Structure 1
Amino acid sequence: MSPTTILHCFSSFFFLFVILPHHSNADVGTSARYSPPYLPSGCYGTEASQFPSTNLFAAAGDGIWDNGAACGRQYRVRCISAEEPRTCIPDQSIQIKIVDYAASAVSPPSTAGTTMVLSDKAFGTIANASASMINIEFQQ
Structure 2
Amino acid sequence: MMTNEYFGGWKFAASACNGYQNDRVMIAAASDAFWAGGSACGRNYKVECRGATNQGDPNPCRGQDYMVVKIVYYCPSGCQGTIDLSQEAFAAIANPDADKTEISFHQYVDHLLMLLSAVALVSNCML
TM-score for both structures, normalised by structure 2: 0.73
SS at match of 2:98: coil
2:47 equivalent in structure 1: 77
Are the counterparts in 1 of residues 63 and 92 from structure 2 also a CA contact under 8 Å?
Answer: no
Q: Which moved more, 1:122-131 or 1:85-94?
A: 85-94
Structure 1, unaligned stretches of length 5 or more? 1-26, 105-110
Q: What is the CA–CA distance in structure 2 between the aligned matches of 1:119 and 1:59, rounded to whole Å? A: 8
Q: Which has the larger radius of gyration?
A: 1
Structure-2 separation of matches of 1:120 and 1:60: 15
Aligned equivalent of 1:94, options 48, 54, 67? 67
Of stretches 70-79 and 91-100 in structure 1, the one that deviates more from structure 2 is: 91-100
Tell whether 2:11 aligns with 1:31.
Answer: no
Q: Residue in 2 aligned with 1:58?
A: 28
Q: Counterpart of 1:130 in 2: which secondary structure?
A: helix
**Counterpart-to-counterpart distance in 2, 1:91 and 1:37:** 22
C-alpha deviation, 1:90, in angstroms: 6.9
Give the CA deviation at 1:36.
4.3
How far apart, CA to CA, are the structure 1 residues paired with 2:86 and 2:63?
19
Counterpart AA for 1:102 = C
Aligned to 1:123: 90
Per-residue displacement from partner, 1:97-132 (whole Å, max 9, x unpaired)? 00100129xxxxxx9331110000000011001111
Percent of paired sites with the same residue: 35
Q: In 1, Cα distance between the equivalents of 2:7 and 2:58?
A: 18
TM-score, L = length of structure 1: 0.67
- The structure 2 residue matched to 1:132, chosen from 95, 99, 104, is 99
Give, in angstroms, the shift of residue 37 of structure 1. 2.5
Contact 2:64 2:92 in 1 (8 A): no
Following the alignment from structure 2 to structure 1, what is the Cα–Cα distance between the partners of residues 5 and 26? 14
